Amino acid sequence: MAFVDIENLSYTYPLGDAPALDAVDLRIEPGEFTVIMGCDGAGRSTLCRVVAGLIPRVFGGELTGRVTIGKGPDRVRPGFVFDNPFNQFSGAKFTVAEELAFGMENLGIDRQTMETRIEEVMALVEIKGIEDRDPSTLSGGQAQRVALASILVMEPELLVLDEPASQLDPVGAREILKLIKKVNLRGVTIVMAVQTMAHLTNLADTIVVLDQGKVVDTGSPRSVLTSRAMGDYGVEVPRVTTIARQARTMGLFHGDTLPISLDGVEKGFSNGSLG
């Protein structure tokens, strides 16, 4: 049985005029790394909230269809990382360390385990040294790392992330995405909404593309990102892919398939252009 099984799901927010999700079918296997893409308003955050169990419980609204999350009869506790970390912070804690402990306290985890996990995760996401800072005074990037850390300490089996690197510097973003892949390789199922795949092409197993609440494409990063239709859906594909496509029409790219990363890309361009 799939870890996440969504069948014919439609959802409209309270006071919403149109469905945010429209007849969505989605299956995610245990341990899979799934990326959700689409333009602004396509339904990426909404789908993340459904998978994390926040819709309709927290947001209300009208949901039809079937959503099953978990292995067989055992439901799992997903972890959800917000796109705006300041919306995620509890607001009840005055230091980063207390914020990291907040979720575990509510799960009834013992103090010794909490301290060990906080120590490990702070090292993992590289936020050591800011334990005593007030979360509300952190920079956007620091806050995003703390938001991720506060979920990782709870050791979720399913990690749902809504734009987890949008406020990070480029090197920091690459490191965090590698870290999320590391977590995935430990067996955690990942569902992540992003705007751009520039650093992700070697990380994800599957890309799901949404447009106006509907799933319009699903497949491997290569099959999805090299599809000509991505432009119609407003999806930002790696620049190397768009350049190669344009170069091909100008007779300057001769590779069999369009590249989605820089690995070995020069071969396609070298025939006939610089050669």
Partner 1 sequence: MVPSVEITSLSHQFSGQTVLNEVSLSIQPGEAVAIVGRNGAGKTTLVKHMNGLLHPHKGRILTCGLDTVGVSVAVLAQTVGFVFQNPDDQIFCRSVEQEIAWGPKHLGFPSAKIKKNVENAIAATGLNNMEKVNPLDLSLAKKKMLCLASVLAMDTGLLVLDEPTMGQDLAGKQRITSILDELKHQGKTVVAVTHDMDFCADIFERILVLEKGRLILDGTCEQLFNNPDFQTRGGILPPQVWQLGQKLGLAPTPWTAAQLLERLHTNTPAAPANRVEKRKTP
Decide: 210 and 42 in contact? Cβ < 8 Å: yes
Decide: 60 and 14 in contact? Cβ < 8 Å: yes
Scanning the chain, the segments in alpha helix (DSSP H) are: 44-51, 85-88, 96-107, 111-124, 140-152, 170-185, 221-225, 239-249, 266-269
Task: Report, in Å, the least distance between residue 104 CB and partner 1.
Answer: 25
Q: For residues 68 and 212, which CB has a smaller minimum distance to partner 1 in the complex? A: 212
Distance in angstroms (rounded) separating the CA atoms of residues 48 and 151: 15
Task: Report, in Å, the least distance between residue 125 CB and partner 1.
Answer: 12
Distance in angstroms (rounded) separating the CA atoms of residues 162 and 151: 13
Distance in angstroms (rounded) separating the CA atoms of residues 267 and 255: 7
Q: For residues 1 and 262, which CB has a smaller minimum distance to partner 1 in the complex? A: 262
Task: Report, in Å, the least distance between residue 114 CB and partner 1.
Answer: 25
Task: Report, in Å, the least distance between residue 240 CB and partner 1.
Answer: 5
CA separation, residue 207 to residues 183, 220, 221, 237, 251 (Å): 18, 6, 6, 12, 30
Q: For residues 76 and 252, which CB has a smaller minimum distance to partner 1 in the complex? A: 252
Distance in angstroms (rounded) separating the CA atoms of residues 226 and 67: 30
Q: For residues 140 and 219, which CB has a smaller minimum distance to partner 1 in the complex? A: 140
Task: Report, in Å, the least distance between residue 83 CB and partner 1.
Answer: 6
Q: For residues 68 and 95, which CB has a smaller minimum distance to partner 1 in the complex? A: 95
Q: For residues 65 and 141, which CB has a smaller minimum distance to partner 1 in the complex? A: 141
Q: Two tokens at 251?
A: 């007779």
Q: For residues 3 and 253, which CB has a smaller minimum distance to partner 1 in the complex? A: 253
Task: Report, in Å, the least distance between residue 67 CB and partner 1.
Answer: 22
Task: Report, in Å, the least distance between residue 141 CB and partner 1.
Answer: 3
Distance in angstroms (rounded) separating the CA atoms of residues 43 and 193: 10
Residue 91, classified by CB atoms within 10 Å of its CB into exposed (0-12), middle (13-18) or buried (19+), is: exposed
Residues binding partner 1 (CB under 8 A): 15, 38-41, 45, 83-84, 86-87, 133, 137, 139-142, 145, 163, 166-174, 195, 198, 234-236, 238-240, 242-243, 246-247, 249-252, 262, 265-266, 269-270, 272-274
